[in-house]
Chains A and B, each alone.
Chain A
Amino acid sequence: MAGRLNLWRWVVLGLAALYFLVPLAASVVFTVDVPGEGVTFDAYTQIVSADGFTSSLVLSLELAAATIAVVLLLMVPAMVALRLGAPRLRPVVEVICSLPLVVPPIAFVAGIATVLKWGPDYLSRTPLFQTFVAIQNPSFPFILVLAYVVMALPFVYRALDSGLRAIDVKTLVEAARSCGANWPQALVRTVLPNLRGALLNASFLTLALVLGEFTVAQLLGFQPFAVWIYSVGGSNAQLSVAVSVLSLVVTWALLLTLAGVGGRDKTASSRG
């Protein structure tokens, strides 16, 4: 019985490892072993100098930073306030933050594209038109930040909610207040440090979402990182696969870092 169980274990794990590792290994082989050229690391050395690599990566990182800032500025005060009072609003906010799950990105971008067309169609003589032009500035398309914040809401809500669940916000704030702290001090110096793990988690999820996002950016005609990889794929297969492999490695490293920080956070809180 035990022997059969162990065999089953190894078969399942072996097949899973085969399925999940072979594409990664084959991708590396594909980039390194070029037909007719032998083993070469050109694909990797080319990446940095490739046309559009730096600008698209920088754009993606800027978008990610802006999205994280906006989503946390909107969500943290709202979620903390909901814990302190207004219990009837709690289900409302939960539903609102889950709504983006019901609208697939492609449907969402179809709606956004329609709204953006109103600009030239109806608003060209109003001051609002300038806003429409400004948020579609290709060097920093703020419209993408708006879309990404909406798409990140469900993840950020869940991360912050589980973080807030673990601490007693009301007691913390009352303690801080009776020690003479004003409201901003109470929020920034007592609540936020206790939410460190949740804030990091929310930021990481948002970062991963923005770095990998393709649908909205491509259909609105902007070129952040994922769209750039796609456009390179047509002309230089080796290069695009090399970038794909690298982007997975980077995501992995980020997640492991987060797991490390989160793990430390847990032990710290259990001690304290």
Chain B
Amino acid sequence: MTATLTRADVVAAASSKRRRRVPSWIAVVPLLVFVGVAFGVPAVAMLNGAFTVKNQTTGATSYSTANLTESLKGAYLTALIGSVKLSALAGALGTLLGLPLAQVVVTSRFRALREAVLTASGVLANFGGVPLAFAFVATLGNAGVLTTHLGLKDKGWDLYSFWGLVLVYLYFLIPLMVLTITPALEGLRTQWREAAQNNGATGVQYWRHVALPVLAPSLLGGFVLLFGSAFAAYATAAAMVGSSIPLITLQIADAISGNVLVGQENVALAMSLDMVLVAGLVMAVYLPLQRRSARWLDA
């Protein structure tokens, strides 16, 4: 610990003292070195492992795409599809449910309500993980308060299922959507609505021809962000369903902690690479959309 701290200190201090002679990029060097070691090395290790195949009998290693092909087969493929399905559905529902909530909050006359909902969204959007899973287990799990008081079990309710996970994921996805879409909704000018009304448009027509087209990039961007967030989520699912629902994060975790056959570590790395590719795709869609909507809002 001290080694890293002092190095960062020394370089930072030295750079600020000598900046007249030394260019200012010196102060960026510690950051780049740190990211190179703490992020670059594991990333390269993952890439390397994903393409390395170890021959079990001879112990020789060679490079091939066998792990990647393996990671797209059988149980691993089921897990990947399960994750994509869950994230797409939860993301779509989160988008559809978050939009009206954000709209009601943005157009509210009560400032306090706005502030309260936005602050709460900030907390809840980060309230993923183990506490969220336990709160829902206490509410709707097998011995949960609502389950026992309303007799939901006899009606076929099961929290530890695909739809149960969707319900839990929405708890942090809807607030995330509210946070994402609020700036776009604030960018909708009252004048646009008034202009539409003066031209004889109904409320539905206004939304259909004016508001939604303007919001479309933000909505799509929000959906993609929600998808990525649900796709990467691990703690909630792990604490809630163990591995009874096939999800790629649970599969990777199983492989890392050695709960499966020896020699599957590299397949876990290949699955991680699959996840990075999906997440990269998400960002590649999200960033241009965000820029596009930002252009509308700044204008």
* Cβ-based interface call for A3 (8 A): no
**A115 CA to B42 CA, complexed, in Å:** 6
A241 within 8 A of B: yes
Cα separation A183 to B140 with both chains bound (whole Å):
58
Q: Can you list 21 A-B pairs, Cβ within 8 angstroms, ordered by A?
A: A8-B104, A12-B104, A13-B104, A19-B174, A74-B8, A74-B30, A74-B34, A98-B283, A99-B35, A102-B283, A104-B232, A106-B249, A106-B252, A106-B275, A183-B16, A183-B17, A214-B130, A214-B234, A248-B131, A252-B123, A255-B123
- Secondary structure call for the A interface: helix
Task: List which A124-167 residues lie within 8 A (CB) of chain B.
Answer: 140, 142, 145-147, 149-150, 153
The 7 closest A-B pairs by CB, nearest first: A111-B42, A104-B232, A244-B131, A107-B272, A81-B27, A111-B46, A30-B138
Residue of A nearest to B278 (CB): A104
User: B143-151, B180-188, B212-220, B291-299: which one contacts chain A?
Assistant: B143-151
Min CB gap A53→B, angstroms: 14
Contact A26 B144 (CB under 8 A): yes
Complex formed: what's the CA distance from A149 to B4 in Å?
Answer: 12
- Residue ID in chain B nearest A13 by CB atoms: B104
The residue from B24, B120, B130, B135 contacting A245, defined by CB atoms under 8 A apart: B135
With A86-B23, A89-B28, A108-B42 as known contacts, state yes or no: A237 contacts B130, CB within 8 Å: no
Contact partner, A85, options B23, B128, B234, B272, Cβ 8 Å: B23
Chain A residues, CB < 8 A from B78: none
Query: Interface residues, chain B, CB within 8 Å of chain A?
Result: 1, 4-5, 8-9, 12-13, 15-17, 19, 23-28, 30-32, 34-35, 37-39, 41-43, 45-46, 49, 100-101, 104, 108, 119-120, 122-124, 126-132, 134-140, 143-146, 170-171, 174, 231-232, 234-235, 238-239, 249, 252-253, 256-257, 265, 268-269, 272-273, 275-276, 279-280, 283
A107-121 CB contacts (< 8 Å) to partner B: 107-115, 118
Identify the closest chain A residue to B236 (Cβ). Answer: A214
Across the interface, do A96 and B1 meet the contact criterion of CB distance under 8 Å? no
Interface pair B279/A244, CB less than 8 Å apart: no
> 11 extra interchain contacts, Cβ-Cβ under 8 A, other than A101-B283, A214-B239?
A13-B104, A20-B120, A69-B5, A73-B30, A75-B31, A85-B25, A102-B280, A106-B272, A149-B34, A183-B17, A183-B19
Q: Which of the residues B12, B42, B130 comes within 8 Å of A114, measured between beta carbons?
A: B42
**Of the candidates A113, A150, A214, A241, which one forms a contact with B38 in the assembled complex, judged by CB atoms under 8 Å apart?**
A150
Known contacts A230-B130, A241-B135; A105 and B42 CB within 8 A of each other: no
